[in-house]
Amino acid sequence: MVETFDKWLEKQKSAYEKGFRERECLLLAEGAKPGIHPRKVGYTFIYRHPREIALSMAEISARIAKQIPCVSYPVDSIHICALDENDACKKTIGEEENDLDYLDREFGKRLCNAAKKVANLKIPLTVYLNDLLFNPEAVIVEGITQDSSVYDFSLSLLEACKKEGVDNMDRFPWGVHTTLTRNFGTGDVREQGQKAYNFLMQERRKFQRKQSRLSYLDVCTFDCGPRGAKFRVLERFPLEE
C-alpha cells in the first residue's frame, strides 16, 4: 500500500535529514563504511535528467571517485527512481554470471506497455536539485518537488503495471534523490572518512542549485552490485512533446 502524498513527503524529508544530514558527521567519528552488497538484477522504471544536468552530476561522481575509493555513477547510470521491482523478486547472482540469463522478455514487454500508457499523458515533471548530501555509505543529490506531479506519475505507473498483470513492480521510491556514489572503499576507514568528509564539504560548497525538467521515462533492466550500477534501456518514452 503506497502512502499518501503528505506521508510520502514526510518520509523523504526524514530520509534527507536523519539518513544523511544527521549522519554525515559519522564520517569523522567512525570513518567510511564499505558497502558489501550482493549483485542483484531485475527490472526498474527510471526518470532521466536533461543530458547536461546528468553530465554535471556524473562529473561530480567522477571527482569524488578520484579522491575516495568508491563506486561512481557514469552518466548513463544517473537517474531518479520512478518505480522498482520489489526486493523479493530481484535475482541475486554471482559476479561472473550473465544477467540476461535471469531476465524475462515477455515481462519486459508488459512493463513497456504500462509505461507507454502513462508517458503518453505528457505530464511535465520538475525536480529541484537542492543540495549535495552524504553519509558513511553514499553521496546523493537532494531532490525536492513543489507539487505532487512526480508522485502522481509514479503512482499511475504502479496502477498501469497492475492492469498489465504485473504485481511485483510495487517498490515505490522514498524520494526524488539522485545517487552519485556508493560503497566507500576498504583500507583505513577512519583516515578515508576524514578525507571523504573534507572533500565532500568542498563539493557541497561548489554545488549549484538548479531545477531539472525530467526528460524521459526509461524501462530498464538493472544490474547492481559491488562493481557498480548498470541500466539497460528496453524502451524510452519522452515526457514532453
* All structural domains of the chain with their residue ranges: 5-238
Return the amino acid letter for 219.
V
Task: Return d(Cα 78, Cα 229) in angstroms, integer.
Answer: 9
Residue 182: pLDDT band by 50, 70, 90 thresholds?
confident
Query: 32-41 pLDDT, tens per residue?
Result: 776 667 888 8
Give me the long-range contacts of 20-24 (CB less than 8 A, separation at least 24). 20/133, 20/134, 20/135, 20/140, 20/142, 21/133, 23/135, 23/136, 24/133, 24/134, 24/135, 24/197, 24/200
Q: What is the mean pLDDT of residues 147-151?
A: 97
Q: Are 199 and 64 in contact (CB under 8 A)?
A: yes
pLDDT number for residue 188: 56
Sheet holding 126-134, edge to edge: 71-72, 178-182, 138-144, 126-134, 210-213
**Res 155 pLDDT > 90:** yes
Query: Alpha helix (H) ranges present in the chain?
Result: 5-14, 26-29, 51-67, 105-119, 149-163, 189-206
Q: Can you say how many angstroms the Cα of residue 62 is from the centroid of all Cα atoms in its chain?
A: 16
Return the amino acid letter for 111.
L
Percent of the chain at pLDDT > 70 equals 95
Q: Are 200 and 64 in contact (CB under 8 A)?
A: yes
Architecture of the 5-238 domain: Alpha-Beta Complex (3.90)
pTM: 0.92
Q: What is the mean pLDDT of residues 52-74?
A: 93
Return the amino acid letter for 76.
D
Query: 202-240 pLDDT, tens per residue?
Result: 999 999 999 999 999 999 999 888 778 899 999 999 998
Query: 67-121 pLDDT, tens per residue?
Result: 888 889 999 999 999 999 887 778 887 887 887 777 788 999 999 999 999 998 8
- Backbone φ and ψ for 191, nearest 5 degrees, come out as -65, -45
